[in-house]
Amino acid sequence: MRNLKVTMAFRGTNYHGYQRQNNALTVQEVVEDAVSKILNTKTTIYGCSRTDTGVHAEKFCFSFKTENQIPIRNFIRGINGYLPKDISVLDCEEMPEDFHARFSCVGKTYLYRIHNSESKDPFSTDMALHYRRPIDIELMKKAAEFFVGTHDFGSFCADCSKKLDTIRTIYQFQIEINENDIKILVKGNGFLYNMVRILVGTLLDINEGRIKLSDLESIMNARDRRLAGRTALPHGLYLHEVYYDSI
């Protein structure tokens, strides 16, 4: 039995997230149908994570098992022929039997894109948050720095039960600015539900003076979602990279 790992990019605008749902179009459904056509047999794929409606992925991994001996190159070409223009398979490789796109994952990097200007950008509609207010980059960088390390992110999680293990490690929380375009990169060993969007929303609330830098510690300690900032809109978020062997 072959165990294949596939890396794909998708623009999430037209999908109700990655994970298959009844009565709503999802990336998994579209990709699973394409894989099943290529392999001539109904096939289940396992994604590295869920994603919210409108969230994008630059490198999303999924894995599946098959007896089919199709060469890798033909698989990539073939499946791309079946996929719509907003989903693209970038790579495919043979993995050991015990590999699983979700359970073997040791970390991820998310990207959040902001277009910071008075006027909207017609080229990043649905692909970056349009944010009109001036951004104090140094202030946002200080706030980002606070989150680096191993912390209890219970306040930065949507619908988290108090019993859930909400301790995660953030390795990097970088903010890059290029004219009007801001890229926020968050690299960690795992992320809670909506965690990146709440972290970015908190940075924006700090930028706007609604939350003070000096309050971050007590917000973190409270493990209370209501104290953290807003949830930034989904269309600025990208799954940027998924790590397996090492981070």
- Tokens at residue 155, please? 């306040």
User: With contact defined as beta carbons under 8 Å apart, do 62 and 47 qualify?
Assistant: yes
72 counts as binding a copy of itself under rule CB under 8 A: no
3-state secondary structure of 91: strand
- Judged by CB under 8 A, the residue of 72, 127, 137, 177 near a copy of itself is 127
- Catalytic residue at 86? no
Site string for a copy of itself, 20-59 (x = CB under 8 A): ------------------------------------x-x-
Which residues does 169 contact at the CB level (< 8 Å), separation at least 6? 149, 150, 151, 188, 189, 190
150 counts as binding a copy of itself under rule CB under 8 A: no
134 counts as binding a copy of itself under rule CB under 8 A: no
Shortest gap between Cβ of 45 and a copy of itself (angstroms)? Answer: 17
Nearest to 228 by CA among 130, 127, 152: 152
85 counts as binding a copy of itself under rule CB under 8 A: yes
Looking at the DSSP assignment, which residues form a beta bridge with residue 4? 64, 94
Query: Count of CB atoms within 10 A of residue 112's CB?
Result: 24
Q: In Å, how far are 15, 22, 64, 98, 195 from 48, measured between CA atoms?
A: 17, 20, 11, 15, 16
* 89 vs 206, beta carbon nearer a copy of itself: 89
125 counts as binding a copy of itself under rule CB under 8 A: yes
User: Which of 8-16, 64-72, 148-156, 221-229 is the region at the interface with a copy of itself (rule: CB under 8 A)?
Assistant: 8-16
Instruction: Identify the active-site residue in 33, 52, 205, 245.
Output: 52
* Residue whose structure tokens are 């396992």: 46
- DSSP H/E element including 219: helix 216-222
- Judged by CB under 8 A, the residue of 41, 44, 74, 90 near a copy of itself is 90
3-state secondary structure of 128: coil
Applying CB under 8 A, the site for a copy of itself has a residue count of: 23
- Judged by CB under 8 A, the residue of 30, 87, 144, 182 near a copy of itself is 87
3-state secondary structure of 81: helix
5 counts as binding a copy of itself under rule CB under 8 A: no
186 counts as binding a copy of itself under rule CB under 8 A: no
Catalytic residues: 52
Binding site for a copy of itself (CB under 8 A): 9-11, 56, 58, 76-77, 80, 85-90, 117-123, 125, 127
